[in-house]
Amino acid sequence: MLIRSPALDALPRIRHAFFTREGGVSNGLYASLNGGLGSRDDPEHVAENRRRMAAALQSSALVTAYQVHSPNAVVAAAPWTRDEAPRADAIVTREPALAIGVTIADCGPVLLADPAAHVVGAVHAGWRGAFDGVIESAVAKMEELGAERKRIAATVGPLIRQQSYEVGPEFVARFREADASFEKFFAPAARDGHAMFDLPGFIVMRLQAAGVGTIDDLGLDTYSDDARFFSFRRSTHRNEPDYGRLIAAIALGE
């Protein structure tokens, strides 16, 4: 049902999980632990799935933002409803027992923690958010709550890996024009003019550049592991009408 990070497990008073698609009540395309409020799954099934996730983290509430592939980070001080959810792609908190999370289906989930400052963060880092600075925004918000960059531990969870992530020439050009050194995140693709993009490598580089002290990458590919993970791109290639969403979440212990 869930995957844990050794780097985060080693920290005191930190609870976290990269939830798989196993252990829920949803059916069909969403089987079974779909956490996507924006999916077309039965809302009661999604609510029960999210309740189970919160319980697994010993939290009274699981909060996620209305994700828009932005660089925006917000502070969560109390639970909010779906209608109240801020449009953002990173959440940080110092509130005990409030689980903060992100929904993913190929984009990169990054969980962060500074146990000394009692501050945690959750980041939805797709290519656009990572490119535009969502990781840096999350780290800055954690600093506002008392965290120190060198004390922060970060883990990159299941996401689409380079061998599964073909991109077109316009995509490659955007990165090359921004910084010539970004060329190292692309490998040749079978199709002429296309390339294979290393999203986790790019995310790790941005974490390093932000001064994060400890960085862990679980090395898991959402696209190739149908049994454990939902994948937007895999569903698209199969011409499926919708797809489930995974949740990555973190909480502070008392």
pLDDT, mean of residues 127-149: 98
Per-residue pLDDT reduced to its tens digit, 228-244: 999 999 999 999 999 99
Dihedrals phi, psi of 191, to nearest 5 degrees:
-80, 135
Distance CA 111, CA 121 (A): 6
Confidence of residue 207 (pLDDT cuts 50, 70, 90): very high
Averaged pLDDT score across all residues of the chain: 97
% of the chain residues with pLDDT over 70: 100
Query: Considering the chain, what percentage of its residues have pLDDT values greater than 90?
Result: 98
pLDDT digits (tens, 9 = 90+) for 35-80: 999 999 999 999 999 999 999 999 999 999 999 999 999 999 999 9
Tokens 């003019």 found at: 193
As a whole number of angstroms, the distance between CA 224 and CA 136 comes to: 29
pTM: 0.98
Residue 31's pLDDT band (cuts 50, 70, 90) = very high
Burial of residue 159, with CB atoms counted within 10 A of its CB: 0-12 exposed, 13-18 middle, 19 or more buried: buried
How buried is 140 (Cβ within 10 angstroms: 0-12 exposed, 13-18 middle, 19+ buried)?
middle
pLDDT of 97 over the 90 cut? no
Check whether 219 has a pLDDT greater than 80: yes
Query: Are the C-beta atoms of 71 and 137 separated by less than 8 Å?
Result: yes
Over 90: is that where the pLDDT of 1 sits? no
Domains in the chain, ordered, with CATH?
A: 2-161+198-252 (3.60.140.10)
Q: Across residues 208-237, what is the average pLDDT?
A: 98
What band does 196 get if pLDDT is binned at 50, 70 and 90?
very high
**pLDDT number for residue 232:** 98
Is the per-residue pLDDT at 254 higher than 80? Answer: no
